Amino acid sequence: MKLASEQDRFLGMDYYITDSPGCGGIIRRNPEDFLVVEVFEDRLELEQPGSRSGARAAVVLRGRVTELADVDAMADHVAPDFWAHAGSGRPGPQEG
């Protein structure tokens, strides 16, 4: 076992279980560091429009209300001519 860093010992971790070096990870500090993007293949029933900019709609997913990101709006914001260069143009609603 390897003696933990001073910072980790301060947090109560005295030793590392392995002698291998760390992987170089970065500690998450900002709310943005914790954003999660999930991709679902199942058809979702939209409950209501999103409550804020960038949210397309609110849905009940696994028993919890969550908002779906408006990917089209994000693409338009970042690269207004994105769909013009995407070949077949802006995609339509998915057929189920």
Identify the pLDDT of residue 59. Answer: 81
pLDDT of 89: 55
Predicted local confidence at residue 96, as pLDDT:
40
Q: Using an 8 Å Cβ cutoff, are 75 and 89 in contact?
A: no
Q: What is the mean pLDDT of each run of 10 residues along the chain (96 residues)?
A: 88 87 78 74 73 80 80 75 63 48
Looking at residue 88, its pLDDT comes to 54
| DSSP three-state, residue 48 | strand
CA distance 4 to 17: 9
Going from N- to C-terminal start, the domains of the chain cover 53-88
Q: What is the pTM of this model?
A: 0.36
| 69-77 contacts at long range (C-beta below 8 A, 24 or more positions apart) | 69/37
